[in-house]
Structure 1
Amino acid sequence: MSTNDVVVLDYGSGNLRSAVRALERAGAHVELTGDFDRALEADGLVVPGVGAFAACMAGLRSVKGDRIIGRRLAGGRPVLGICVGMQILFGRGVEHGVETEGCDEWPGVVERLQAPVVPHMGWNTVEVPEGSALFAGVEAERFYFVHSYGVRDWTLRTNDRTRAPLVTWAEHGGDRFVAAVENGPLSATQFHPEKSGDAGAALLHNWVRSLSA
């Protein structure tokens, strides 16, 4: 296996090819597969996602993706979630009154944005915390969002027992929501880095480079 060997998890979610191409441009050797062992063994795993939370969780479970994520993180192996691939890392999602269990890597609820115009669609700045490795060099840039749901309240409290995750925020129509999280081997973005031009390319390059650090 080459260094920076990345699997994009294929579990029936759309728009996977653009993620593959963007990661290849960022310097990774990329394979699109739903194979359990391959996804477990790669240097990095990317979990994209579009559409409904419940449908993404059903697709993820169909390839045992929730178990793959859990086992990788238990071994300190990097995972990057994108869009709904970030949302399913939280405890639960609520859409149209239907509640669906997520992977529960972080506590929190994915719920409809409370903004005058939904979906939130287009380019937006983000509020990046100090010390971010993911956003190094692109802290002030804009990223491309397209979503109607998000995590509006970060509830994980570490009480200094472990290093607190770095949480990046964004705002749409007066409503604040989680735009990205960096938590040891687990990173995620609500926006689409593969659709975010040079800024997104730089962010993916930062993540790919971290795999061999």
Structure 2
Amino acid sequence: ILGLAGLIFGIWIGTLFLKGGYNLGRTEKTYTSVGWLLPLIMLGFLVLRIMFPPAEGQAQSGVLFYSLKGPGAMHAPLAISLIIGLAIGFLAQRSRFCTMGALRDLILFRQTHLFMGFITLVVLAFLTNLILKQFHPGFANQPVAHTMHVWNFGGMVLAGLAFALAGGCPGRQLFLAGEGDGDAAVFVLGMVVGAGFAHNFGLASSPKGVGPHGVAAVIIGLLVCLFIGFTMRKKSA
């Protein structure tokens, strides 16, 4: 709940920059090969996954490393992941689904088209958890979550602001990258690199609490986003 509140607040701050003239510039066409780069990279990873499948109890298979415990080890079988992923990707691309865009459009233009998709996602997730008996109300003992509420809120403020400045949530950026959007592809690669930094340099949180350097990362991230928001505005004549 606090994370969702933080996300909404961060997006609201982003809308203030948008009203103030923040602009990333005009989208321009480029070479077709640029659009194919990320899809081909992902296809390459899929080939590696097929060539070097996980071995029972082994952290490494060929050139790939696998998680043996924790969230990284919890996933559906490959075939099911591909089928459901393609189905969700198709529906999300056709509907222009975007959590950030839904809240931004609601705040800026009072438009509810994307927001209804966001609400539908929340309701379906709630019902699914009820059916699977995975719904446990409360703040304590939630999966992969801690109770340091200030930083639950603050971290998602940073996320919401960053998504608003970037023009889309992570899901939307992933769908756009699949459409050949080079900027979105850079965003996706940035998420991958950022996740590596977070888990290797003590930035990521765990059920025990915020990582050793997580607070500093949130503060620096907010300062960077505010700097970008204030300096990349077109002043009206």
* Structure ranking higher in helix proportion: 2
TM-score normalised per structure 2: 0.24
- TM-score, normalised to structure 1, is 0.26
- Larger relative contact order (CA 8 Å, sep ≥ 6): 2
Tell me which protein shows more strand as a share of its residues: 1
